[in-house]
């Protein structure tokens, strides 16, 4: 009970001392608030820009559907290319793929350093080594945040002391990353078109070589057959066999009809048995043959393949689709959705509310402490 009474008396004394020194407390507090205001205005200001990126909306991505469904590969050789081959699809990018490719371009240190130079966000004063070090330090402070389930956007957070330069830096890096990505994709589509044309031309050349080879083999076979028949015709003339050997002639030499039939029709009888007249007729036909194509196996099918390849217009149609797509002008081709909310520089330091409340609190603490110290010193004397 006595302790509570002493505590109550001490509090009353303390409050009384503070009340009597209220003018000092007010003056010290006002001085601290004044100093806090001065610090607020002279302290280096920091601005922050937060750019957020999302996959393209389906309505914008639809402008690339024609490219995504097209191929530069000729139909005649389509089956020879595996499904994952680069030539198979001219535009193998989904909406998420475009966002991933864009962020890769955006985070490239060389790209960011170029943005520093273009925007002038780092002071150009001092030696070159100092400027390079400042630029590297600035780039290392840039924060990138990958998408999550709660926040599906990819974020780039940048801080600087100059709001105009910060705005230029963010605008340049974002727009140039999109342009670089669009130009890269356009170049890849053009390469696929060129690869498809090369694939087609190579297939045509290969087919033409095969056709020429088969024609040459057929001509050699014709000449070989003429040489064999010429020799057999000479034998037939030397034996006096002008007409094909008949069954009766064989029977007249003492062979039975059944045996003669077996010899003539079994397929193993000498060719000169056909008679010199028939052989010479066959030789004449072979010699006068102007076109051996009908006698070449699968020649018409090979020629059909050549015709299909020569008249394949997939590459030309794909070039037209490329010119009709947003990639015709990479500077305006949409790659990602860009949220402008938060991208404009916002001052994050110093905060007026923070400086005001802090200086007020510090002033009250210092003023009260000064009053109590003076009261204690007076009591000791």
Tell me: the pLDDT tens digits for 309-348?
999 888 888 899 999 999 999 999 999 998 777 788 998 8
Q: How many residues does the chain have?
A: 381
Tell me: the pLDDT tens digits for 104-113?
999 999 999 9
Do 28 and 143 lie in one domain? The reply is: no
The closest alpha carbon to 179, from 354, 24, 13, 330, belongs to: 330
Do 213 and 362 lie in one domain? The reply is: no
For 23, the domain range is: 1-43+352-381
By CB atoms closer than 10 A (0-12, 13-18, 19+), residue 319 is middle
**Of 3-12, 40-49, 315-324, 363-372, where does mean pLDDT reach its minimum?**
3-12
Mean pLDDT for 215-232 is 93
Tally the domains of the chain. Answer: 2
- Given a cut of 50, is residue 351 above it in pLDDT? yes
Do 258 and 197 lie in one domain? The reply is: yes
Q: How confident is the model at residue 295 (pLDDT cuts 50, 70, 90)?
A: confident
Residue 277 is predicted with a pLDDT of: 92
Residue 127 is predicted with a pLDDT of: 87
**Of 46-55, 75-84, 115-124, 202-211, where does mean pLDDT reach its minimum?**
75-84
Do 344 and 364 lie in one domain? The reply is: no
**Of 13-27, 254-268, 293-307, where does mean pLDDT reach its minimum?**
254-268
Do 32 and 77 lie in one domain? The reply is: no
| Residue 230 CA from chain centroid, whole number | 68
Report how far residue 321's alpha carbon sits from residue 324's, in angstroms, rounded to the nearest whole number.
Answer: 5
**Of 11-15, 61-65, 94-98, where does mean pLDDT reach its minimum?**
11-15
More reliable by pLDDT, 125 or 117: 117
Do 306 and 361 lie in one domain? The reply is: no
| 3-class DSSP state of 247 | helix
Do 248 and 370 lie in one domain? The reply is: no
Do 161 and 226 lie in one domain? The reply is: yes
* DSSP code for 293: G
The pTM assigned to this predicted structure is: 0.71
Do 202 and 274 lie in one domain? The reply is: yes
Tell me: the pLDDT tens digits for 263-291?
444 456 888 999 989 999 999 999 898 88
Residue 22 is predicted with a pLDDT of: 85
Query: What is the rounded average pLDDT for all residues in the chain?
Result: 84
Do 32 and 116 lie in one domain? The reply is: no
Do 86 and 200 lie in one domain? The reply is: yes
Q: Are 326 and 194 contacting, i.e. CB atoms less than 8 angstroms apart?
A: no
């Amino acid at each position: 009970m006595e302790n509570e009474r002493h505590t109550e008396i001490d509090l009353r004394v303390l409050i009384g001392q503070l009340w009597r020194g209220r003018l000092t407390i007010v003056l010290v507090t006002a001085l601290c608030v004044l100093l806090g205001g001065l610090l607020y205005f002279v302290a280096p200001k920091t601005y922050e820009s937060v750019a957020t990126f999302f996959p393209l909306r389906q309505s914008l991505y639809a402008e690339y559907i024609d490219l995504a469904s097209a191929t530069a590969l000729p139909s005649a050789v389509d089956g020879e290319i595996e499904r994952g081959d680069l030539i198979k699809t001219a535009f193998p990018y989904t909406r998420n793929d475009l966002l991933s490719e864009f962020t890769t371009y955006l985070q490239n240190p060389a790209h960011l350093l170029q943005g520093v130079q273009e925007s002038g966000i780092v002071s150009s004063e001092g030696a070159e080594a100092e400027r390079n070090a400042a630029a590297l330090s600035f780039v290392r402070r840039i924060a990138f945040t990958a998408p999550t389930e709660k926040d599906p956007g990819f974020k780039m957070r940048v801080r600087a002391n100059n709001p105009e330069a910060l705005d230029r830096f963010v605008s340049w890096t974002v727009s140039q990353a999109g342009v670089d990505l669009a130009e890269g994709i356009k170049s890849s589509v053009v390469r696929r078109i060129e690869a498809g044309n090369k694939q087609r031309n190579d297939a045509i050349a290969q087919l033409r070589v095969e056709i020429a080879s088969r024609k040459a083999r057929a001509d050699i076979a014709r000449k070989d057959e003429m040489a064999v028949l010429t020799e057999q015709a000479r034998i037939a003339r030397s034996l006096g066999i002008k007409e094909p050997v008949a069954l009766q002639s064989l029977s007249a030499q003492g062979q039975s009809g059944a045996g003669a039939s077996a010899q003539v029709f079994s397929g193993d009888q000498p060719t000169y048995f056909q008679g010199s007249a028939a052989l010479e007729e066959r030789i004449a036909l072979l010699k006068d043959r102007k076109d051996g194509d009908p006698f070449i196996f699968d020649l018409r099918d090979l020629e059909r393949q050549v015709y299909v390849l020569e008249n394949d217009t997939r590459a030309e149609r794909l070039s037209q689709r490329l010119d009709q797509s947003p990639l015709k002008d990479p500077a305006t081709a949409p790659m990602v959705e860009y949220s402008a909310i938060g991208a404009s520089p916002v001052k994050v330091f110093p905060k007026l509310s923070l400086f005001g409340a802090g200086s007020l609190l510090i002033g009250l603490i210092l003023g009260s402490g000064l009053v109590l110290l003076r009261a204690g010193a007076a009591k000791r004397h």
